[in-house]
Structure 1
Amino acid sequence: MVSCKTQFLLVFVYLWLWWTTCSHVISAKHSLKPGEKLNSKTNICSENGIYCISFSSSTGDCYLQIVRKRGDSWSVWFANRNEPVDAESAVLLLDHSGVLKIESKHRELPIILYFSPQPANNTMATLLDTGNFVLQQLHPNGTKSVLWQSFDYPTDNLLPGMKLGVSYKTSHNWSLVSWLTSEIPNLGAFSLEWQPRTRELIIKRREQLCWTSGELRNKEGFMHNTHYRIVSNENESYFTITTSNEELTRWVLLETGQLINRNGGDDVARADMCYGYNTDGGCQKWDEIPICRHRGDAFEDRLGYPSTNMESYLANSSYGPSDCQDICWKNCSCIAYSDYDGNNGTGCTFYHWNSTKGTNLASGGMKFRLLVKNTDHKGKSTIISQLPIYHFNMFHNFFNSNTKSC
């Protein structure tokens, strides 16, 4: 007769074997199979551990993101950059019909990454060492077909193998869009695109053309220490960067409009220095600029203690730093700005005065961007009269009189 202790041990072993073979939450794999879930306590890493995908919180919001783990860790892709989810309940699920989705208890509807009208059987989502998260269907003859991949939906990073351009077969566009602020990965103001007709890269700010690379005539070449290729045929036209060694090449479009090469070297583009009057460095002229702005006027970083009675606010969480700069640039009574929410960099605080002459700046204090006027206005430009967007009071003192000068 089997003792109670033996029966308990047999039941325990059975339950343990069942849990280890049937658990639907994975951790130490590089693929997600039908029925498996990825939650906030687990991750999927590529075969050689170069990249991992997991849920991570940023300023209280939770995002599914791919992070490079070698060297300094940094995010290269977001699945739900405009739709943060609850960290405790968020899961990435590949169901038995081939639907790849993010679920959270505070959302009525899931975030669908891939869905097909016809159920796709025998699927698998795998994170590759390139940083690409690929959903594939496995066929009986051993072949695989790609149903969906993260490289088709880049965020602010351009990795080797990603494309900038257009698919003529599907009308799908590949482009980068900056973060809203340095802390918020939501869609920002700047976009990096490939123009097939003119064979050039362009940066736009809210659809305003700011910068172009100029025509790239060759099918491949080097641009700011980066090897690139251009493919153009009846199916697609795109620009891509390549790497020939283990040192990762990565371009990042910052929230300021800078396009930087994380692998070192000069900035690829400085759209943040394009004001509409200059054409240096690839900047593009605009048809209209405010009558009070002139060639050479530019914003510069400053530290100081602005007087609070000279402030006006725009507490809009959908506005980033470039939006604040654009509003200040277009309003002739505005001479400086900073963010409104110091925690995440959203919203705007504006400072006003009729002249920057005699302004005292402190050696410490808060950071803001001051419009430095060029007193030597040379050349002609097309200008327009710009009415103030907001009603601003004019003040005689920009900073508190008790601040120390530089």
Structure 2
Amino acid sequence: MRASVDSISKLLYITILLLIITISTAVDIINTTQSIKDGDSMASADGSFKMGFFSPGSSKNRYLGIWYNKVSVMTVVWVANRETPLTNSSGVLKITGEGILELLNQNGSIIWSTNSSGSARNPVAQLLDSGNLVVKEDGDDDLENSLWQSFDYPCDTLLPGMKMGRDLITGFDRYLSSWKSPDDPSRGNFTFRNDPSGHPEQILTENSIVRYRSGPWNGLRFSGVPELRPNTLYKFEFVFNDKEIYYRYQLLNNSILSRLVLTENGNLQRFTWTDQTDVWAFYLALFDDYCSRYALCGAYGSCDITSSPVCGCLKGFLPKVPKDWDMVDWSDGCARRTALNCSGDGFQKYSGVKLPDIRKSWLNKNMNLEECKSMCMKNCSCTAYANLDIREGGSGCLLWFSELIDMRQLNENGQDIYIRMAASELDHDVDVRIDSKSNKAKQMRIIVISVVTTGMLLLGLVMVLILWKKKQKKGSKLFNLQKLTIFLSHCYFSTLNCDL
């Protein structure tokens, strides 16, 4: 009998020990027999991220979310039930035998759930060190085989490794959407996504109104985002093929925390965590100046943040409604000074610009620039052309068939575009920017010439006065005013040949 009791005790001890080991080594995973209740949490294996229930700001509502675990400031990066908050602390998260996550309220009703792209014999939900919550077959670490993942459903934050883009086969779209307020994580007014119309570019919309566009991808960066360049913090990539379009970034040093956030005010900002000060330090903003506003200067207008006013017409164009421009309203844009006649037109090169809106453009990846020009010339509706890719001397072709909208002068890291113009408006072999730049150059030349001429006249006058004074010292009769005038006239018309 004693031996039997000892055997049961040993078996119980081993069971408890195995349970403890399982819990301690699998804190980042729940299976179909486990759940997460309000007050519980689940951390990723390296402790970088935590998942549980929280209340944002001053709100009393409860949400299931994921946040940074190693920073002192509560920073939520993903919210499950952002549109259907819990009103108390009764929430429970479970995973079903079909591999579906379900969030239940106090009545056992499902207020949020995932879908599933397949099935699994032993489905589990795991919080990865990247901050990605994944539903998968237990033991299968290939994300391509996952049934569902939170990275496919971003909220307001783009984390390293997260794709922002579209599956061209299924139409599935991954994009950022702002919180409504710091107290309310439901969808706000702003979204930031890749627009596949024409050649892909990133656009910010407020409700359905475009507020910002990045310009098309040119092989190195989006043409209107000079800030997007190689740096010591992160590397980025843009993939565009027959199956998908997406942008993503990876940190070069995994010990650094950095996130890209779409704020409730419609600002896209990057922050990095600073241990010394315990704050998220501002790193950069993608649209933080007046010229970032979509179509600020209207059709055939160009914005230059270094000019005043910032809007000007492209060379060969004039304000469509001059009185509105005088009132600093540029929305009507500019009109051609000389109408096109198709057969006699040419193309003017504009350098260092953000390419115009491409949603009504046409592209060909295989054409060179000369072929691109020829195709545009043959079509009287074609208004401009440019290289699709600027690497290695340029390749590919972009054609525009509408008014050119939302251009800006960048100079550094800008791009070349060739705009259709009447022959009389062409400046052969000269790169032009915008009229305001040309006017500035003319004004500067006039100022320089005026200053130099005035300086020479003053210098000549000083020399004449010195010679006149020397003449007086020789004992000659003092010149009166009339004689001085005659003397100066003589010197001037004889090109200062005053041998006294």
Q: 2:251 aligns with which of 243, 263, 266?
A: 243
Deviation at residue 235 of structure 1 after TM alignment:
1.4
> Contact 1:137/1:144 (CA < 8 Å) preserved in 2?
no
Q: Cα 1:135–1:70, aligned 2, differ >3 Å: closer, same or farther?
A: same
- Structure 2: gaps (5+ residues): 273-281, 299-307, 309-325, 334-500
Q: Which 10-residue stretch deviates more, 249-258 or 118-127?
A: 118-127
1:190 equivalent in structure 2: 190
CA contact (8 A) 1:210 1:283 kept: yes
Task: Give me the TM-score of the superposition, normalised by structure 1.
Answer: 0.61
Figure out how many residues of one structure are paired with residues of the other and give that number: 283
Aligned counterpart for 1:257 among listed residues 257, 260, 266: 266
Cα distance, 1:86–1:381 mapped onto 2, change above 3 Å: closer
- 1:281 aligns to 2:292 (yes or no): yes
User: Separation in 1 of the partners of 2:291 and 2:221?
Assistant: 24
Q: Which residue of 2 aligns with 1:204?
A: 205
Structure 2: distance between partners of 1:87 and 1:112: 18
Using the aligned pairs only, state the percent identity: 27
Question: Partner residue of 1:135?
Answer: 135
Structure 1: gaps of 5 or more residues? 274-278, 288-295, 297-375, 384-406
Structure 1 residue 11 displacement after superposition? 10
Query: Which amino acid is the alignment partner of residue 201 of structure 2?
Result: E
- Distance across 2 between alignment mates of 1:282 and 1:199: 19
1:43-96 Cα shifts (integer Å, max 9, x gaps): 111111000010112301111100011234300000111111244221110122
Give how far 1:104 is off: 1.1
Partner of 1:150: 150
Paired residue type of 1:114: N
Higher helix share: 2
Distance 1:121 1:193, change over 3 A: same
Change (3 A) 1:282 1:227: farther
Answering whether residue 285 of structure 2 is matched by residue 267 of structure 1, we say yes
Q: Distance in 1 between matches of 2:140 and 2:284?
A: 50
2-structure distance, mates of 1:269, 1:67: 26
Q: Deviations over 1:122-152 (max 9, x none)?
A: 1121111111111112479999821110000
Query: For the structure 1 residues 130 and 169, does the alpha-carbon distance in structure 2 shift closer, same or farther, using more than 3 Å as the test?
Result: same
CA distance in 2, matches of 1:102, 1:15: 33
Q: Deviations over 1:164-193 (max 9, x none)?
A: 110022211010000011221010000001
For 1:119 and 1:142, the matched residues in 2 are separated by 15
Q: What RMSD in Å do the two structures reach over aligned CA positions?
A: 3.7
When residues 60 and 377 of structure 1 are mapped into structure 2, their CA distance, relative to the original with a 3 A threshold, is same
1:217-264 C-alpha deviation (Å, 9 max, x unpaired): 115696276532101112111111221102122110000011111123
Q: Secondary structure of 1:265's match? A: strand
* Aligned residues of 1:127 and 1:133 also touching (Cα < 8 A): yes
Distance (whole Å) between structure 2 residues aligned to residue 56 and residue 249 of structure 1: 22
CA distance in 1, matches of 2:212, 2:143: 43
Between the aligned partners of 1:377 and 1:104, the Cα distance in structure 2 is 57
CA change 1:244–1:88 in 2 (3 A) is: same
Of the structure 1 ranges 128-137 and 69-78, higher mean CA displacement relative to structure 2 is found in 69-78
Question: For 1:381 and 1:173, how far apart are their aligned partners in 2?
Answer: 32
Q: Deviations over 1:342-376 (max 9, x none)?
A: xxxxxxxxxxxxxxxxxxxxxxxxxxxxxxxxxx8
How far apart are residue 200 of structure 1 and its match?
A: 1.8
Could you tell me how far apart the structure 2 residues matched to 1:63 and 1:141 are? 28
Q: Higher strand fraction: Structure 1 or Structure 2? A: 1
Report the AA paired with residue 280 of structure 1. Answer: C
In 2, the alpha carbon distance for the partners of 1:56 and 1:103 equals 15
Larger radius of gyration: 2
Which of 220, 223, 226 is residue 228 of structure 2 equivalent to? 223
Q: 1:377 aligns with which of 301, 321, 327?
A: 327
Distance change (3 Å), C-alpha of 1:209 and 1:133: same
1:171 corresponds to? 171
Change (3 A) 1:254 1:141: closer
Which one-letter code corresponds to 1:267 in the other structure?
A
Pairwise mapping of residues 7-406 of structure 1 onto structure 2 (< 5 A)? Answer: 29-58=27-56, 59-72=59-72, 73-106=74-107, 108-115=109-116, 119-138=119-138, 145-196=145-196, 197-218=198-219, 223=228, 227-245=235-253, 246-263=255-272, 264-270=282-288, 280-285=291-296, 377-382=327-332
Take 2:176 and 2:156, find their aligned partners in 1: how far apart are those partners? Answer: 5
Offset at residue 281 of structure 1 (A) = 2.4
User: What is the CA–CA distance in structure 2 between the aligned matches of 1:165 and 1:93, rounded to whole Å?
Assistant: 29
Q: Please give the secondary structure, in 2, of the residue aligned with 1:262.
A: strand
- 2: CA distance between counterparts of 1:283 and 1:183? 29
CA deviations over 1:282-332 (Å, ceiling 9, x no partner): 533498xxxxxxxx9xxxxxxxxxxxxxxxxxxxxxxxxxxxxxxxxxxxx
Q: Alpha carbons of 1:86 and 1:18: their partners in 2 closer, same or farther (altered >3 Å)?
A: farther
1:215 Cα deviation (Å)? 2.0
Of 12-21 and 139-148, the range deviating more from structure 2? 12-21
* Superposed displacement of residue 212, structure 1: 1.0
DSSP 3-state at the match of 2:285: coil
Using the size of structure 2 for normalisation, the TM-score is 0.50
Q: Is the 2:41–2:50 Cα contact (8 Å) retained in structure 1? A: yes
For residue 269 of structure 1, give the secondary structure of its aligned residue in structure 2. coil
Label 1:86 to 1:228 Cα distance change in 2 as closer, same or farther (>3 A).
same
Counterparts in 2 of 1:119 and 1:163: CA distance versus 1, 3 Å: closer
Offset of residue 266 of structure 1: 2.7
SS of the residue 2:184 aligns to: coil
Q: Shift of the alpha carbon at 1:109?
A: 3.3
Q: Secondary structure at the match of 1:247?
A: coil
